[in-house]
Structure 1
Amino acid sequence: MCNGCQMLSNLRDLIPGADLWPRFVRNESERFEARFSLVEVQKSQSAFFDGMAGSRMPIAVSHGEGRVEVRDNQHLQAIEDSGTMTLRYVDNMGNPTQQYPNNPNGSPNAITGLTTTDGRVSIMMPHPERVFRSVANSWHPEDWNEDSPWMRMFRNARKHIG
């Protein structure tokens, strides 16, 4: 997450299946962004997001350098076609968005998380570790009980490890 995401994206040449990962650079707003945003989990091979595709959930954002930087339009299209995108910023209607502040860093195609082609390594800019408990959210449906839906991501990781 966040700084680890930036570091791993720069080490993509050493990580099998990460060759399409972009760099993460200064936010389009030229500011540090700290807020809640809405993301949708995309269908991918990510061990973290197993069974979560289509979920739309609020998430904490806290970064100054979270904008995806692609080499060109072909690189962006290759990412889209590869099935390695895990998270995308969406608006309140569930549509991918470039609109600030819903997309707080200006990432193209609202990309904010990716995985390797085999799903073993994932990177993301937002902070699910800050909102895995319901009480960490400013509002949540009563049926969330103790855990927010983000807890599933961590349980998936535990299940994957064995």
Structure 2
Amino acid sequence: MSKPKVLIITGYGVNCEAESAHAWKLAGAEPELVHLNDLLDHPERLETYQAMMFIGGFSYGDHMTSGHVFALRVKHHMQAQLQQFIDDGKLIMGICNGFQVMTKMGLLPGLDGNYFEPTVSLMQNDCGTFQNFWVDIRFEDASPCVFTKGLGTMPLPIRHGEGKIFTLDAGLVEKIEALGCVAARYVDAGNEPTQEFPENPNGSLNAIAGLTDPTGRIFGMMPHPEAYLFPENHPNWDKQKLDGELPEQGLGLKLFTNAVDFMNRH
């Protein structure tokens, strides 16, 4: 069986390409790094991939809010090709700045099949400053998300200044919840969603850490699973080892293996 090909878009301030590519390789896929300019010059290249990823970093220096410029360039130069990519049942993943790009473009939450009209945004953390530490993330069993099926709760690192999911439309939030589009939440020590800092590092509505579209094939979140590919990535790995609790692999890898398993089955 040939390995599924995954497009990773690089350039203009995004900086997580090495660990993202390695995650897909470990999961059994064939990632390819493509600079944004090359993709915009040849958007037909999308046809050759089964999945694509918007990675973390600080695209265009977060000018006009994080992910905004990157989202506009993609949307206005390759919207038709991206819509076809979605219609063909392929996968899209966005992490941190990539998640910001996807919300600013409208890919998430993607309700009613509308992927290019933004309805939610990611705004500045309630604390007002950039945060960089580990949090507990609960992946919701009721979500249709391909990437997060069966993962339960895991620790993951966050590093962002604009991670608060926000909208003034209460009805939209209800619809997102009803459709299972909340794929991941920040939780406290009791595994319950929380608005309290630092367990919720940004004050996100309903403790939302990640969203999926209703199909489950388009997914984004603020925490970085690609930064937890090896057990030793965890800040307390030495204690975990002494306690006999050190996992064989970094837990973040599970999101990528879920995606590759899905692509291999379809």
Q: TM-score, normalised by structure 2?
A: 0.56
Match of 2:255 in 1: 153
Task: Report the alpha carbon displacement of residue 80 of structure 1 after superposing the two structures with TM.
Answer: 1.4
**Within 2, Cα distance between the matches of 1:135 and 1:21?**
38
Equivalent in the alignment of 1:6 = 100
Match of 2:92 in 1: none
RMSD of the TM alignment (CA)? Answer: 2.0
Higher relative contact order (CA 8 A, sep 6+): 1
Larger Rg: 2
Q: Runs (4+) of structure 1 moved beyond 6 Å? A: none
Q: 1:36 to 1:139 in 2, by over 3 A?
A: same
Counterpart AA for 2:125: N
Query: Shift of residue 20 of structure 1?
Result: 8.4
Give the deviation of 1:13 after TM superposition: 5.9
Is the aligned partner of 1:122 residue 2:224?
no
Distance in 2, matches of 1:56 and 1:145, equals 14
Aligned in 2, Cα 1:151/1:29: closer, same or farther, shift over 3 Å?
same
In 2: Cα distance, 1:132 partner to 1:77 partner:
34
Quote the offset at 1:46 in angstroms: 1.1
User: Which residue matches 2:123?
Assistant: 25
Residues 182 and 212 in structure 2, CA contact (< 8 A), matched pair in contact too: yes
Equivalent residue number for residue 100 of structure 1: 197
Letter in 2 for 1:41: F
For 1:10, the aligned partner's letter is: K
CA deviation map 1:59-104 (0-9, x unaligned): 1000001000112222222221111111000001111000011100
Match of 1:101, as an amino acid? P
SS of equivalent residue, structure 2 residue 137: strand
Q: Does 1:76 align with 2:178?
A: no
Q: Secondary structure at the match of 2:134?
A: strand
Q: 1:58 and 1:37 mapped to 2: Cα distance?
A: 5
Report how far residue 114 of structure 1 moved: 0.6
| Aligned position for 2:235 | 138
Unaligned runs of 5+ in 1: none
- How many angstroms apart in 1 are the aligned matches of 2:168 and 2:201? 21
Question: Would the aligned equivalents of 2:227 and 2:252 in 1 still touch at CA under 8 Å?
Answer: no
For structure 2, list consecutive stretches of 5 or more residues without a partner in the other structure. Answer: 1-94
More helix per residue = 2
Question: Contact 2:229–2:250 at 8 Å: present in 1 too?
Answer: yes
Where does 1:40-51 land on structure 2 (aligned, <5 Å)?
40-43=138-141, 44-51=143-150
Between the aligned partners of 2:251 and 2:206, the Cα distance in structure 1 is: 24
Kindly state the Cα deviation for residue 160 of structure 1 after the two structures are TM-superposed.
1.9
1: CA distance between counterparts of 2:224 and 2:173?
23
